[in-house]
Structure formats: structure tokens, C-alpha cells
Amino acid sequence: MKSRKTASGEPILVTGGAGYIGSHVVRDLGEKGFLPIVLDNLSSGKPEAVLYGEFIHGDVGDGALVGSLLRRHSIRSVMHFAAFIQVEESVRDPLKYYENNSFRCLRLLQACLENGVENFIFSSTAAVYGIPEKVPVDERAPLLPINPYGRSKRIGEMMLADVAAAAPGFRYVALRYFNAAGADRQARLGQDYPRPTHLMTLALKTALGRFQRLEVFGTDYPTADGTAVRDYIHVDDLSSAHMLALEYLGRGGESRAYNCGYGVGYSVRDVVAAAKRVSGIDFPVVDAPRRPGDPAALVADAGAIRRDLGWAAKAPPLDEIVASAWNWERKLAAAVKP
């Protein structure tokens, strides 16, 4: 176990807290005086990304370990980020996603119920909507995921709803992320995966010469320029939604799911153009076939989270989101130079 900056406030178990989104939430928890207890198996996270609290190298599916942490710290609130997130990989290897995202979530919930956890914040996804009939999509839309990743997260939401109905005192918020992007504005944190798949990260790493070219998957979607459209939310604003969800549950809010997005859609070509503007580098881009499991457009109607939780984030310009990621990517590149 390693000690970071700490505080004497309420302990919060954060699974997957060494990863991209989890580490930003751990940062915010620490800065607000909470004590993050971070459990991560480091399949994609980095221990140095945990800026506050206590780090434990372990697996969320280890019920005995999770139970001991919950008891030792008298934890009443859990934030669950530990999951695999690659749509294309989930299509190729679906059982990997059901085992990790669904079965290990079940094990975590068992430990939570056995040890008196009251509040649970779940990292979900807009992929639970599949191909929505109407865009922007709100939380009342049918949940019809079209890939194993989305289905594995849908199973997690179903388990939470059933547990909350059966266990008085247990409540949850499921946050359905649209496309998390950007990095900590002080370049302390950002995406640092060994095999990146996020469009913005791939574009900027191509600008830096790590990849020879950027592939645009699908140019025949029914969108303005033929490429897929997504709602890109800055990771700092996404993190703030988690803090508000924690406050909401703390004051007795009811269990439910919320969309996390701005309601503004950008195409793949929009993001590529922004990456070229921000970096000042005209890197090579090639068109490629669609990837299986990708819908044409996903844009959030986030009215509910604004109304119920008071989330007031406004969509920054796309170039601002890209610039925060660019500063982070340059920092990573400088760290590996001889």
C-alpha cells in the first residue's frame, strides 16, 4: 500500500481509481477533504495517477479484500469505475466484458450489502441506449444496447435497480457517460493507456509521431459529413457530476440514472480538424470501414442531471477540450525522451 496526500474526511471506496476518469474523481474527492480508498488491479490504470488517499493493488472481484476494506474504513459510499470500455474488443471477446463488467460488479455489490454500504455511484455509459430513435437522447429512451460492452453495463444497472428495491437503505446513481475527453487542466492527469482507443488521444498521438496515421472508422454514416457524431464531455466536468451525485445521495436522493453530456455533437472529422488546429500539425488521416457495434450518433439530453443535481457545466469549445489533452500528451512525450 502507498500513501498519497490525504485528509481526515469521510472515506470513499473508489474502484478503478487509478484509471482515466477514476483518477480525476479521486483528485476532486481529495481536494474536497474526502479520504479516497482506491482499489485498482492496474490492468489499465497507473498508481502514480492516484493523487490522494490510500492505494491498494487488488481486484474488485475479490470479495474478501473488498469486505475488509469496507469494514476497516467503515465505508458507507462506493464509486465503481473498474471496467473494460472498448466497444470493438467487446464484440471480439464478449465473455471478457461480461466477466469483468457484470460478474465482478455482482461480487462488489455482494460485499457492499454484507458490509452496510448505503450509497453507490456506478460508471455507466450511453452505450446502453444502442441506436436511439431520437437524438439528443434522454433517460426515458429504451435501453437496447447493440454491443457486449453496452449490454455488460446494462446488466450492472439492472442489478443495482433490483438490489435497491430489495435492500432498504441502499441507493445508487448510475451516470451514463457520453464521450469523456480532455485532461486535467494542470496536466497532472489524463489518458495514459498502453493501447489507446479514444479518438482524441489517437489523433494527438499521431500528431506527435507515435502512430504513422489516424484511421477514421466509417465515412458512410447518415450524418452531415458521413462520420460518427458524439457528445464529448470534458473529464473535469464529468468528475464534477460524480461529486454532485455523492452529495445527492448523501441528502437522501432516490436511486436513478443520469446522462452525462453537454447536448452538443461533434463528428469524427470535427475532432480531427480540432486536433490539427490545436497541435499545428497536419498529420496523415485515412478512411477505414465502420467498426462493429458503433452507432451513428450519440448526443445527450442532460436536463435531468442539471435539474436534480444542479450540474451547471457548460460545453467548452471543442478546441479547449483538445488543448487540455494536447498539453497532457506533450507532457507524456517529454517524459519518455532520452
Q: What share of the chain is helix, strand, coil (3-state, %, to 5)?
A: 40, 20, 40
C-alpha 129: how far from its chain's center? 16
* Whole-number Å distance between alpha carbons of 73 and 69: 6
Residues 6+ apart with CB under 8 A from 205: 196, 211, 329
- Backbone CA torsion sign across 121, 245, 303, 87: negative
Q: How many CB atoms lie within 10 A of CB 170?
A: 19
Q: Which of 129, 149, 232, 262 is catalytic?
A: 149
Amino acid sitting at position 2: K
Distance CA 51, CA 38 (A): 10
Assess whether 149 carries a catalytic annotation.
yes
Catalytic residue numbers, as ranges: 149
